[in-house]
Amino acid sequence: MPHPSSLEFFWDPASPYTYLAATRIETLAEEAGIALNWRPFLLGGVFKATGNRAPAEVAAKGRYLFEDLQRWASLYGVPLRFPESFPANSIQALRAALVAEESGQGPAFARAVMAAHWGEGRDINNPAVLAEVAEGAGLSADAVAQQMQSQEIKDRLRANTDEAVARGAFGAPTFFVGDVMFWGNDRVPLLKAYLQES
Active site residue 74: no
From candidates 128, 143, 159, 190, binder to a second copy by CB under 8 A: 190
d(CA 128, CA 124): 9
Residue 71 makes contact with a second copy by CB under 8 A: yes
Three-point CA angle 41, 42, 46, nearest 5°: 105
User: Which residues contact residue 179 at a Cβ distance below 8 angstroms, ignoring those fewer than 6 apart?
Assistant: 167
> 6, 15, 74, 198: which is the annotated catalytic residue?
15
> Could you tell me the smallest distance in angstroms from the CB atom of residue 61 to a second copy?
5
Could you tell me where the DSSP H helices lie in the chain? 16-32, 43-50, 59-76, 91-102, 106-114, 127-136, 141-147, 151-166, 188-197
Between 35 and 193, CB nearer to a second copy: 193
From candidates 75, 84, 104, 196, binder to a second copy by CB under 8 A: 75
Residue 1 makes contact with a second copy by CB under 8 A: no
Can you say whether the dihedral through the CA atoms of 179, 32, 182, 81 is positive or negative? negative
158-177 positions binding a second copy, by CB under 8 A:
165, 168-171
Q: Are 170 and 183 a contacting pair, CB within 8 Å?
A: yes
Catalytic positions, written as ranges:
15
The footprint of a second copy (CB under 8 A) covers 50-52, 58-61, 63-64, 67-68, 71-72, 75, 165, 168-171, 181, 183-184, 186-187, 190, 193-194
